[in-house]
């Protein structure tokens, strides 16, 4: 029976024919470059094939690069935000230190004008009672502070110590309604009493005759009467003088020269000749002697006896 398909050449013959054909094509191409156009066309086809087969990898790399770049940008953005926040914090601290340095310089300049011994104190608290004007400072009985001791800032008098603790003190400000201070007009020496109004920006001069020589802009300084406050320290500046023809006294309002709501560093004025360390040692020895039942030594000092905070520091002086 005749087979359906005729049997072709064997595989060996086919391989031999292909080898001979390949060698012949190589020789012809090397000598005559006849196959260059064919090779160029085939390279174009192969290039498209390579591009298609490489497309998934390039897409994957592109997506990964996009995600990687976004992640890096987010991380870098967060890092820059953190650095910016830190720099802003440092700038704020630097600004605060600069302002603090300015205030300390002002305080140093004011202390150079004070004849009495002084010691720097820092405000550490405010009295929570809204109807009283009191502050707390970081100097107390152990530092030689005494009741009635004057306190001032770089601009003028602020008040006096009315309560003592071992390491802190409470200061009654000039503007408290229970506080009064004898003053005089720096221009002509006219004496008056400046009393607190409960307003941190206002003092009132009471019992000033309607015909008294006082006008807006006059500087009021401590007169030293009563030996509570040293003489010559700025207290307030006259802001308003109201004359009423039907009243024997004028209404005089003044603004404190001290920054009562802003000063942080203050000066404690000592009236006796002892240093703060000597006063602290004397106070400690007196306290120890009192605890042991021994008689206390008499220490000379020019500081007057303290008065309660609820009464004026001195009796009103005639205008």
Tokens of 258: 């001290």
The pLDDT assigned to 190 comes to 92
Beta bridge partners of 234: 221
Residues 192 and 259 in one domain: yes
Which range, 152-156, 209-213, 269-273, 295-299, has the best average confidence (pLDDT)? 209-213
Dist. CA 303–CA 284, nearest whole Å: 18
Shared-domain flag, residues 156 and 248 = yes
Indicate if the pLDDT at residue 193 is higher than 90.
yes
* Alpha carbon distance 120, 141 (integer Å): 15
- Whether residues 106 and 226 share a domain: the answer is no
Question: Does 309 map to a domain?
Answer: no
CATH assignment of the domain containing 182: 2.40.10.340
**Does 108 share its domain with 129?**
no
DSSP letter at 314 equals: S
Tell me whether residue 229 is in a domain: yes
Average pLDDT taken over every residue of the chain? 77
- What span, in angstroms and rounded, lies between the C-alpha atoms of 286 and 295? 9
Higher-scoring residue by pLDDT: 305, 154: 154
User: Does 203 lie in the same domain as 124?
Assistant: yes
pLDDT for residue 113: 53
pLDDT of residue 134: 94
Return the HEC string of 201-218.
Answer: CCEEEEEEECCCCCCCCC
Give the number of other Cβ atoms within 10 Å of residue 195's Cβ.
Answer: 20
From 113, 144, 177, the end of a domain falls on 113
Do 243 and 162 fall within a single domain? yes
Tell whether 285 is covered by a domain.
no
Instruction: Single out the residue in 92, 113, 134 at which a domain terminates.
Output: 113
> Is residue 6 over pLDDT 60?
no
What token pair was written down for 192?
Answer: 């008056």
Q: What is the pLDDT of residue 310?
A: 36
pLDDT > 60? residue 306: no
Looking at the DSSP assignment, which residues form a beta bridge with residue 152?
157, 267
The strand pair at 134-137 and 169-173 is best described as antiparallel
Q: Report if residue 186 sits inside a domain.
A: yes
Asked if residue 241 is part of any domain, the answer here is: yes
Does one domain contain both 74 and 122?
no
Q: What is the pLDDT of residue 289?
A: 61
Mean pLDDT along residues 208-234? 88
Confidence of residue 173 (pLDDT cuts 50, 70, 90): very high
Same structural domain, 70 and 182: no
Token pair for 39: 């090779």
Q: Please state the pTM of the whole predicted model.
A: 0.56
Both 122 and 202 in a single domain? Answer: yes
In a domain, 301, yes or no: no
Pair (94, 193) in one structural domain? no
Residue 102 placed within a domain: yes
**Which of the four pLDDT bands, split at 50, 70 and 90, describes residue 287?**
low
Q: Within 10 A of 267 (CB to CB), how many other CB atoms are there? A: 23
Among 73-82, 114-123, 209-218, the minimum mean pLDDT is found in 114-123
Residue 127 burial (10 A CB sphere; 0-12, 13-18, 19+): middle
Distance, in Å, from the CA atom of 49 to the CA atom of 234, rounded to the nearest integer, reads 96
- Domain extent for 148: 118-270
**Cβ proximity of 154 and 114 under 8 Å:** no
Over 50: is that where the pLDDT of 296 sits?
Answer: no
Label residue 45 by pLDDT band (50, 70, 90): confident
Same domain, 243 and 124: yes
- Residue 41's pLDDT band (cuts 50, 70, 90): confident
- pLDDT score for 70: 78
Angle at 266 between CA 265 and CA 270, to 5 degrees: 150
Please indicate, yes or no, whether residues 125 and 246 belong to a single structural domain of this protein: yes
Domain count, the chain: 2
Query: According to the model, what pLDDT value does residue 311 have?
Result: 35
Q: Give domain status of residue 243, yes or no.
A: yes
Last residue of a domain, one of 113, 130, 153: 113
């Amino acid at each position: 029976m005749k087979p359906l398909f005729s049997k072709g050449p064997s595989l060996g013959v086919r391989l031999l024919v292909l080898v001979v054909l390949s060698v012949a094509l190589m020789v012809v191409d090397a000598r005559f470059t006849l196959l260059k156009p064919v090779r160029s066309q085939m390279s174009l086809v192969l290039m498209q094939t390579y591009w298609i087969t490489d497309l998934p990898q390039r897409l994957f790399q592109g997506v990964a690069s996009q995600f990687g770049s976004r992640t890096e940008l987010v991380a870098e953005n967060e890092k820059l935000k953190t650095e910016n926040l830190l720099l802003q914090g440092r700038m704020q601290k630097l600004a605060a230190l600069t302002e603090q340095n300015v205030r300390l310089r002002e305080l140093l300049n004011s202390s150079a004008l004070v004849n009495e011994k002084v010691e720097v104190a820092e405000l550490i608290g405010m009295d929570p009672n809204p109807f009283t004007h009191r502050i707390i400072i970081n100097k107390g009985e152990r530092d030689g502070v005494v009741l009635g001791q004057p306190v001032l800032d770089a601009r003028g008098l602020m008040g006096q110590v009315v309560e003592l603790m071992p390491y802190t003190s409470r200061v009654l400000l000039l503007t408290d309604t229970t506080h009064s201070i004898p003053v005089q007009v720096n221009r002509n020496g006219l004496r008056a009493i400046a009393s607190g109004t409960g307003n941190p920006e206002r003092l009132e001069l009471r019992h000033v005759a309607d015909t008294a020589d006082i006008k807006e802009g006059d500087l009021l300084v401590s007169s030293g009467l009563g030996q509570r406050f040293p003489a010559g320290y700025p207290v307030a500046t006259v802001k308003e003088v109201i004359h009423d023809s039907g009243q024997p006294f004028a209404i005089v309002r003044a603004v404190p020269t001290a920054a009562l709501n802003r000063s942080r560093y203050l000066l404690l004025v000592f009236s006796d000749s002892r240093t703060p360390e000597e006063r602290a040692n004397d106070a400690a020895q007196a306290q120890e002697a009192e605890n042991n039942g021994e008689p206390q030594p008499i220490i000379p000092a020019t500081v007057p006896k303290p008065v309660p905070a609820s009464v004026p520091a001195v009796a009103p002086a005639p205008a």
